[in-house]
Structure 1
Amino acid sequence: MTRNPSKALALSFHGGPGTGKNYVSTILADNIFKKGMRSKYVHLISAAQKYSHEDNRSVYKDMLKEEVENGAKHCHQSLFIIDDIDKMPAGILDILKPYLTSYRHLNGINYRQLIFLFLSNTAAESITKLAIDQWQTGSERTDIRLKEMEDIISTVSINSKGGFYHSDIIYRHMISAYIPFLPLERRHIKQCIRDFLVAKLYYKREEIPENKVSKIAGKMTYYPKDVEVFSVYGCKRIEEKVILLIG
C-alpha cells in the first residue's frame, strides 16, 4: 500500500465453510477503505451467483474484464473479492492475466496496486486432513508451515473442478500467496460465541456465563466423530443456535 509494487497483489484464501475467509476479507476492506465493504472501490463478486453457467464463459470473461478495468480507472488501489472460485467455470479467471503481471502500464492504466482476493472451498479436505494429522500427533496447528500448505493447495486447485482448473494464473505463478484457513476447534467456536454474545448485547464480556457458552458450543456439530474436535460448519450457524437457546 505504501510502495510501488512490481505487480498486483493476489491472495487466494482456501478452507471450508465458516473458517473465516469472508470475515478476513471484510477486515481487510475495513482497514483499507473508510466505508469498508460499502466502499465503491471494493468489488465483491460471487461466482456462484454471477458466473454459474458453463456455456457463458466468453460473456463472463468480458464481464470480469470490464469490471476490473473500470475499477482500476476509478481507483488504482481497488479491492476485488471474488468468492466461490470453486463454483466458477474453468478458464474465466485467465482473463485476469494481464492485470496480474508486472506491466508498468497497460492501455494507460497502472494495475500494479490492485488487490485481488480469491475465496474458495477448493483444497478444504486436504487442509482439514493435514490439520487432523497434526492434531493426532499432538503438535500445535501453529507448527504447520505455510510452504507445506501452499504446495498442497496449488496442486489440488489446479487439478480440481472450478475456476482454478488448469489455470495459467497458477501455472505462471501469479498468485502472491495461498492462505489456508484451518478447521476451527471447539475452543475457537467458543470464542466466536463470546464475540457474538457481546456484539448483540446479550452480555458484557466479563459477565458471560461459561456454562451458556459451553451449552451453545455443544449444540454445534464436530468431527471426527470419535473425538469431536473440529467444527463441521466453523462459526456459521452460531447466530441461530444462540437465538434458539437464549432467545
Structure 2
Amino acid sequence: MRFCNQWQSHISTVWDQTLSSKMTKLASTGRGLSETSSRMWEWRGWNGLLAVLTSTPLKTCGISLGLEADLGRNLFGQHIASEVIVNAVTGFMNNDNPKKPLVLSFHGTAGTGKTLASQLIVKNIYKKGMDSRFVHFFNSVINFPHASQVETYKSQLQLWIRGNVTNCAHSMFIFDEMDKMHPGIIDSIKPFMDYQYKLDGVSYQKAIFIFLSNAGGKIITQTTLVSWKAGKKREELKLEDVETALSSSVFNYRKSDSYVVDFFIPFLPLERQHIVQCIMVEMVAMGLQSEHNKACEMADKIVIYIPDDERRISVSGCKRIASRLKNFM
C-alpha cells in the first residue's frame, strides 16, 4: 500500500536529515528528546528515534483485506454497503494527497448494521479501534439535545473538530441519528468537509466523517420489496438503484447540502435468513451452543416481519436481538 511506502520513505528521509546534525549532539549530552504530552509517547537515544519516526496511531498495512473480511463475517445481507465501504475507505487511505475529507453517509432502517459497519471501519484503521483518542462519536439526540443551545453546540463542535484534526490529520468523526440533528449544527460542520486546502490554517483533507441515519430507510425498503416482487435476487440490487433517492434524504432532507457527501450508502432491510445469522452470532457471544434449528425457531418468535402475508423483511433488523434472546432463553 502506498501509505506503508509513504512511512518507509518518511523514515529514511528524516533519518538521513537528522542523523548528522542532531544525533551527535544527543550522544554527547547523553539525553534524548521528549515529545509533548499530547503526542503520548517519548523517546530516548538511538533506538528511541526510530520508534518516534515509525509511531502512528493507524494500521498502515492490510486495511483492504482486513476490512473486507470483517464486513463479510459480521455484516449480514449488505452486499452493496460492504463493497462501497471497502472501495471508498481503502481508496482514501491509499491516497497520499486527498483533495477533501472522506464523507460517508449510511442510510437504512434500524438494526441493519450501520453502527456495526462504522465500528469495523474504525477497527481496521486505528490500532486501538474505538478506544483510539482519534475517533470521536456523537449522538445527535444525546450530545445536542436542546434547540435553544444550538449556537453553543456549533461553536463547541467546531473547536473540537479543529483541535483534534490539528493534533491528528487522520481523525475520524462519527455522527449517529443524523436525521435528528438540528440544521444549524449541520451547517457548522459543512466547511470542514468541503474541497479546501486549508481552513484557518488547518487542513482537513485526511479526516473521515461518517453519518448514520434512518433517513431514506423507507425508500430502501420499498426498493427492496419491489425488486423481490419482480422476481429479482437480493444480490441483483445495485447502488445506483437507490443512490439518487438517498441523496435527497441526507442532512434533514436538504438536497442542497448533499454535495459534501462522497458516498450515500444504503443498508438493505434484513430478511429472516439474516436474522438467523444474527441470532447464532449472539448465541455464541452469550456462551450458548449455536444451533441453527434453535436460531430459526427464535427468528420466527421474537422478530416481526413485513408484509404480514409474506413475512419477508424484519421490521427492526437485528436491533435488540440480544435482549430478546435473553428473555426467550
Q: How does the TM-score come out when normalised to structure 2?
A: 0.68
What is the deviation of 1:167?
Answer: 6.3
1:77-88 alignment runs, 5 A limit: 77-88=170-181
SS, match of residue 98 in structure 2: coil
The question of whether the paired residues in 1 share the 8 Å contact of 2:249 and 2:255 is answered with no
Task: Tell me what 2:43 maps to.
Answer: none
What is the deviation of 1:79?
Answer: 0.7
Q: Find the aligned partners of 1:103 and 1:216 in 2 and give their Cα distance.
A: 51
* CA distance 1:65–1:167, shift in 2 (3 Å): farther
> 1:56-90 deviations in whole A, cap 9, x for unaligned?
22222112211211120121011100001111112
The question of whether the paired residues in 1 share the 8 Å contact of 2:280 and 2:292 is answered with no
Q: Find the aligned partners of 2:181 and 2:211 in 1 and give their Cα distance.
A: 11
Task: Tell me what 1:193 maps to.
Answer: 279
What is the deviation of 1:168?
Answer: 4.6
What is the deviation of 1:117?
Answer: 0.3
Task: Tell me what 1:160 maps to.
Answer: none
Task: Tell me what 1:24 maps to.
Answer: 117
Q: How does the TM-score come out when normalised to structure 1?
A: 0.90
| 1:96 matches 2:182 | no
| Structure 2 unaligned spans of 5+ | 1-92
Which has the larger helix fraction? 2
Task: Tell me what 2:268 maps to.
Answer: 182
Q: Find the aligned partners of 1:186 and 1:229 in 2 and give their Cα distance.
A: 7
| Structure 1 unaligned spans of 5+ | 158-162
SS, match of residue 189 in structure 1: helix
| 1:119 matches 2:212 | yes
Relative contact order (alpha carbons < 8 A, sep ≥ 6): 1 or 2 greater?
1
RMSD: 1.5
| 1:149 matches 2:232 | no
The question of whether the paired residues in 2 share the 8 Å contact of 1:52 and 1:89 is answered with no
Task: Tell me what 2:51 maps to.
Answer: none
What is the deviation of 1:144?
Answer: 1.9
Task: Figure out how many residues of one structure are paired with residues of the other and give that number.
Answer: 235
What is the deviation of 1:19?
Answer: 0.4
Task: Tell me what 2:100 maps to.
Answer: 7
* CA distance 1:169–1:68, shift in 2 (3 Å): farther
Q: Which amino acid aligns with 2:182?
A: P
Query: Which piece of structure 1 moves more, 33-42 or 53-62?
Result: 53-62
What is the deviation of 1:211?
Answer: 2.0
SS, match of residue 183 in structure 1: coil
Task: Tell me what 1:216 maps to.
Answer: 298
> 1:123-178 deviations in whole A, cap 9, x for unaligned?
11111111111111111222222123111011233xxxxx43436531xx110000
Q: Which amino acid aligns with 2:297?
A: K
Q: Find the aligned partners of 2:139 and 2:184 in 1 and give their Cα distance.
A: 16
Larger radius of gyration, structure 1 or 2? Answer: 2
